[in-house]
Amino acid sequence: MLLIECPYCGPRDQSEFSNGGEAHVKRPDGSQEISDREWGEYVFIRSNPKGLFYERWVHSHGCRKWFNCVRDTSTDEILKIYKLDDPKPPLKDFENKIQTPSGEPDVGSGNFTVKK
Amino acid sequence: MTHLNNQNSPFIHFHQRINFQFDGKKYHGYKGDTIASALLRHGIKLIGRSFKYHRPRGIYTCGIEEPNALVQIISEHSEPNVRATIKKIYEGMEVESQNRWPSIEFDIGSVNSILSPLFSAGFYYKTFMGPHKSFWKKIYEPVIRKAAGLGKPPKEFKAISSHLHHNVDIVIVGGGLNGLLAASSLIDTQYDILLIEGDNQLGGILNNSSKINEINGQRPQEWAKETIESIKKSKNIKILNNTLVTTYNYINHLIAVEDKYVGAKPAEDKVNSTLHKIRTEHVILSNGHIERFLSFQNNDLPGIMLGASFEKFICRYGVIPSKEPVIFSNNSNSNSLIQTLLELHIKPKAYIDSRSGEQIEGELFELIRKNDIPLYTNSQVKAAYGNKKLEKIVVQDSSGGINEITTDFLCVSGGINPDVHLFTQSKGLLEWDDKDLTYKPSKSFQNTITLGSASGQFNFEEIENELNQKLKIFNVNKIIIKIKSNTASRYQIQKLWEVPAHKTSMWSKSFIDLQNDVTTKDIRQAISEGFDRIEHLKRFTTNSMGTDQGKISSINALGIVSDLLDKKVNEVGTTIYRPPYAPLSFAAIAGRNSYEFYDPERKSPIHQWHIKNGAVFEDVGQWKRPWYFPLSKSETMYDAVQRESKTVRESAGILDGSTLGKIEIKGKDALQFMNLIYTNSFTKMNAGSARYALMLGEDGMVKDDGIICKISDEHFIATTTTGGAANVLACMEEYAQTEWPNLNVYMNSITEQFATFNISGPKTRDIMSKVFPEIDFSNQAFPFMTFQFHEFQNTQLRIMRASFTGEMGYEIYVPSNSALKIWEQIQEAGKEFGLTPYGTETMHLLRAEKGYIIIGQDTDGSITPIDLGLNWMIGKTKTDFLGKRSLTRSDTVRPDRKQLVGILPLNKEDSLEEGQHILLNESLQTPVPMLGHITSSYHSPIMGHTFGLAVIKDGRSLIGTKAFASTSNQKTIPVEIVKPIFYDEKNERLVS
Ligand SMILES: [Zn+2]
């Protein structure tokens, strides 16, 4: 279980939070003018990287505040937590070390030695 | 049989006799005994029958790693699969063996042993495929389920456990030699520390063997006693005994379960176990090692036991399982067992070592020679034989000669493994050690330190070095520890995984997994069939998939596979050890979230009245809602609903709508916010009026509906569906914070603060005027879809003219505390007008007659407002609201979407069934074109027949056509597709 540091309440167990998917996906302004494709991408398409990921969390069993987070999805390490109105930290701030727990390959999962 | 006791053991209280039963027979043990040690005291070897072949099995180990000796504790609600090697006895305990019928001595299932070709690797996947699918369900499965398995599930039990949270700096797992050393070096430091031990006492190897002679000049027991005393006195270290760490999660989060009733019968009304949830900065794993076995023919016979376990029984539990054991080893771990035996003047019957005379440690060689113990070097045990217990073994000596040795006990050691389960759960990396022939922790993934044999460091003189190096990060003082050991100075092992058979027979088997009855032959077969990846092989053979996770055998399997594939073990890899480390009960996991607290019930303030008036309840989410109110025991649900709905149409009815979600929205920009959240426009709406509103997802699909009351441009109250209340609030909060933080708006749930009464029917106005005589309920003073606040009996009510039955009606919002009182006044006043309380079923029927949809029944997350024909609810002039853009996506505007229609049976006696398909042809010849299905269907008392709502492709253009509905008995009935409204289409009654 992750330990998540709510910017308003401090570190709490993951069970107090809900994940809100990818962060910095802005709802298009003037949504009637944009194409079906652009709108469809906003509604349906999210990235799902192995490695650094900007995501949203909400402290649903706490202060009910939303906030943003940078997490390495391959190690589950939380690299940064910041408020919604804080600027998006650039990728270069983080070392993108895809060092997965069991030394798996960059893509996919399973036992490394077996995959060989 | 006192001669089998080791009176020197300080841990067994020989003066305190404890009586217990095993398979109905009375036995006794002593305080401190486990079931296993007590039974061994009586020479009982046969403890159970094996999983698949029903072979006789005994006690193989002396701890948590036990694969065989699983028992059922009858005196504890028949708790199954309890390890006899862990569970301590208490007065009056009743224990039964498992998986045998009719008795352990004579077991019919052991015929499976003869049928073993049926049960070979992959038998589930291969043997039972034919001749017909139903054979599996009807014949094979019940037979196999009866024949194979572990204990029987208890019929009823009520266990109580509690959860405890800890936030500490360091957790030390395992209070053996290294755990004690680490803890004592951290006494009175700034760190908050938990020292967790699975046994009921600290000491580990110091209690379990005679491996250590002296620590810092003291006898090991004295040293341990002093050290434990000083740890107990420290301000910063808390000791948890009888507590097993089962799980090591991300971010140093540990789960440990504490048995509160060790050596005592659990109290029925007290907490039996505590689940500790621990968050820590650092973890020190000093949880030791596990000895592994060796595979040879019939290595499962009762009377065969791991060598270190045999020694542990003697030292820790004061019982000597045999006075003449044979010892078979390929490594130096058994040296101390010989020492222990000789000290008790017990001479092993033979010592068999696969190593050569030169490889065997000099001290051991000397000891064996001096005591005249028959020694077989370069030798192996080929097979064991006996009827339900070991009687003789067959040994191949260095010259290849075959020798038979008669013996009742064989101690086996195949080497030792660091107990890496928790380390791998923490995602730490393992590395194969070619010299010690085992996987050892190599790279920690979290703040994990491994110490002693848990780190793969098997040599006592290295301890001082290792401790000083690894505990440096805590800035502890230099640790000085001088250990004199009894055993070889360096752990040494020769490769040996399996001894080949000397002759085969139907009955003889060489096991690689005792609990799941997997043989080395199964491994070979799996590989020859192409399952050469270790994770595949594990699932195909079920090797190491038992409750013991192959603790004593999984490394052996890797060794055998690596030899077969001619690969190095590290190329074969290892399967992943998953939590929990050992089984823990659901009761422990559930804690207090069980029984009445498992899923809390929510009740309206009127609940007691509903009970008094005979309501039958329906669960709606967590809410208990009245379903219908039968007048007597003999009135059926159908009759009650027909009566209730007829009464509403003819006079009046009242529904407790308190469970509807209620959200209050306030702020300077509340109007703008509501316009963005709901499809409707609230701009031109007058203060004091209300509107039926829809909420969409961004995909344009209907998510919720409700009535919005506008108190002012800066203050709204929204109702939601009962089930949608939490989601609607969460959605509003999300958009307010993430997309429109510039808007000044706040929202809060007021669901439980107000009760809601929905009263409707032609007599409603009379009833309302009687209860609230000072209010003018005329259409002019109180028009449809408006609301008013009124002071009434020292409380404030909000009354709204609205209805979802299609009759004229009002909704009354009452603060919960006054709700019951006012509800009763309305009932009293309504008597003369024939007012009836009604439940959710009548509500659904009345709504459906008007074509009012139910979110989640007539919609399923794939229906737009346009599909429902609710275009009038979409604010055309609004530039934006949730999901607006999606309503013009090519997929949402295509003409053949499923649309809401009404369905009427052509033969009035036919009944429509919810979920059945609407077809254009009568034939059910497959493939049947799927047009859509019936979402709701009821019998209408005003129409005198059933009717339904349905969503069907291009439904609106089919209105007026004849179609068919399928039925649950594979027939079709003719129907007509009609408009989705069956009653008062012009809404004359609604606004009357
Ligand atoms: Zn918070």
**d(C-alpha B523, C-alpha B536), whole Å:** 11
CB atoms within 10 A of CB B129: 12
pLDDT at A112 over 50: no
pLDDT in tens, B535-563: 889 999 999 988 899 999 999 999 999 99
Query: For residue B575, what pLDDT band results from cuts at 50, 70 and 90?
Result: confident
- Which residues from B are below 8 Å from A36, CB to CB? 889-890
Calculate the average pLDDT of chain B. 92
Q: What local confidence, expressed as pLDDT, does residue A114 receive?
A: 36
pLDDT in tens, B666-725: 999 999 999 999 999 999 999 999 999 999 999 999 999 999 999 999 999 999 999 999
Residue B111 DSSP SS3: helix
Q: What is the pTM of this model?
A: 0.89
Percent of chain B topping pLDDT 90: 82
Q: What local confidence, expressed as pLDDT, does residue A104 receive?
A: 56
Q: What local confidence, expressed as pLDDT, does residue B131 receive?
A: 54
Q: Give the residue-averaged pLDDT of B371-397.
A: 96
CB atoms within 10 A of CB B366: 10
Q: What local confidence, expressed as pLDDT, does residue B926 receive?
A: 85
Query: For residue B150, what pLDDT band results from cuts at 50, 70 and 90?
Result: confident
H or E element, residue B40: helix B35-41
Which residues does B545 contact at the CB level (< 8 Å), separation at least 6? B513, B516, B538, B539
Q: Which of residues 22-41 of A touch B (CB under 8 A)?
A: 27-28, 30-32, 34, 36, 39-40
**d(C-alpha B236, C-alpha B190), whole Å:** 7
When comparing pLDDT for A74 and B176, which is higher? B176
Q: Where are the beta strands (DSSP E) in B777-931?
A: 787-792, 795-801, 809-815, 836-837, 898-905, 918-919
Considering CB atoms only, which of A27, A34, A114 is closest to B533? A114
The answer to whether B880 contacts A32, with C-beta atoms less than 8 Å apart, is yes
The answer to whether A2 contacts B570, with C-beta atoms less than 8 Å apart, is no
Closest-CA residue in chain B for A60? B730
Q: Quick one: CA torsion of B218, B220, B221, B224, rounded to 10 degrees?
A: 90
Query: For residue A94, what pLDDT band results from cuts at 50, 70 and 90?
Result: confident
Q: What local confidence, expressed as pLDDT, does residue B978 receive?
A: 97
| A12 in contact with chain B, both atoms CB, cutoff 8 A | no
| B28 in contact with chain A, both atoms CB, cutoff 8 A | no
Backbone angles phi and psi of B984, in degrees to 5: 50, 60
H or E element, residue B165: strand B161-173
The answer to whether A40 contacts B889, with C-beta atoms less than 8 Å apart, is yes
Q: Give the residue-averaged pLDDT of A81-92.
A: 94
Closest-CA residue in chain B for A19? B734
Query: For residue B141, what pLDDT band results from cuts at 50, 70 and 90?
Result: low
CA dist B760 → B617, B708, B765, B835 (Å): 21, 19, 9, 9
Backbone angles phi and psi of B340, in degrees to 5: -60, -45
The Å distance, Cα A59 to ligand 1 centre, comes to 5
The Å distance, Cα A94 to ligand 1 centre, comes to 25
Q: What local confidence, expressed as pLDDT, does residue A54 receive?
A: 95
Q: What local confidence, expressed as pLDDT, does residue B49 receive?
A: 87
Beta-bridge partners for B295: B498
Q: What local confidence, expressed as pLDDT, does residue B909 receive?
A: 94
Instruction: Provide the token pair at B60.
Output: 């193989």
Q: Give the residue-averaged pLDDT of B617-625.
A: 94
pLDDT in tens, B233-255: 999 999 999 999 999 999 999 99
Percent of chain B topping pLDDT 70: 95
| A43 in contact with chain B, both atoms CB, cutoff 8 A | yes
pLDDT in tens, B729-745: 999 999 999 999 999 99
Where do the domains of chain A lie? Answer: 3-93
Instruction: Provide the token pair at B374.
Output: 């028959």
Q: Give the residue-averaged pLDDT of B893-909.
A: 95
CA B814 to chain CA centroid, nearest Å: 42
Query: For residue B487, what pLDDT band results from cuts at 50, 70 and 90?
Result: confident
Q: What local confidence, expressed as pLDDT, does residue B2 receive?
A: 40
pLDDT at A99 over 80: no
**d(C-alpha B52, C-alpha B429), whole Å:** 34
Whether B221 contacts B227, CB under 8 Å:
no
- 3-state helix/strand/coil string of B321-348: CCCCCEEEECEHHHHHHHHHHHHCCCCC
Query: For residue B298, what pLDDT band results from cuts at 50, 70 and 90?
Result: very high
Considering CB atoms only, which of A34, A76, A111 is closest to B250? A76
Residue B611 DSSP SS3: helix
Closest CA to B61 of B488, B486, B548: B548
Whether B340 contacts B32, CB under 8 Å:
no
Q: What local confidence, expressed as pLDDT, does residue A116 receive?
A: 35
Closest-CA residue in chain A for B739? A27
Calculate the average pLDDT of chain A. 84
| A108 in contact with chain B, both atoms CB, cutoff 8 A | no
Q: Where are the beta strands (DSSP E) in B898-955?
A: 898-905, 918-919, 932-940, 945-953
Q: What local confidence, expressed as pLDDT, does residue A60 receive?
A: 96
Q: Give the residue-averaged pLDDT of B518-536.
A: 92
pLDDT in tens, B959-982: 999 999 999 998 999 999 999 999
H or E element, residue B964: strand B962-966
The Å distance, Cα A29 to ligand 1 centre, comes to 29
**d(C-alpha B99, C-alpha A44), whole Å:** 53
CB atoms within 10 A of CB A21: 12
pLDDT at B132 over 80: no
| B738 in contact with chain A, both atoms CB, cutoff 8 A | yes
Domain A3-93, second-level architecture: 2-Layer Sandwich (3.30)
* DSSP-derived pairing of the beta strands B661-666 and B689-696: unpaired
pLDDT at A8 over 60: yes
- For residue A92, give how far its alpha carbon lies from the nearest alpha carbon of chain B (Å): 23
**d(C-alpha B208, C-alpha B159), whole Å:** 32
**d(C-alpha B266, C-alpha B588), whole Å:** 14
Q: Give the residue-averaged pLDDT of B329-357.
A: 95
Backbone angles phi and psi of B253, in degrees to 5: -110, 115
Least confident of A110-114, B68-72, B958-962: A110-114
pLDDT at B138 over 70: no
**d(C-alpha B47, C-alpha B594), whole Å:** 34
Closest-CA residue in chain B for A76? B250
- For residue B729, give how far its alpha carbon lies from the nearest alpha carbon of chain A (Å): 11
The Å distance, Cα B663 to ligand 1 centre, comes to 21
Q: What local confidence, expressed as pLDDT, does residue A108 receive?
A: 42
CB pairs under 8 A between A and B: 78
Query: For residue B107, what pLDDT band results from cuts at 50, 70 and 90?
Result: low
Structural domains of chain B ordered from first start: 2-113 (3.10.20.440), 117-144 (no CATH), 158-290+416-491 (3.50.50.60), 607-659+753-847 (3.30.1360.120), 661-752 (3.30.70.1400), 895-992 (2.40.30.110)
- For residue A28, give how far its alpha carbon lies from the nearest alpha carbon of chain B (Å): 10
Considering CB atoms only, which of A2, A32, A102 is closest to B427? A102
The Å distance, Cα A14 to ligand 1 centre, comes to 11
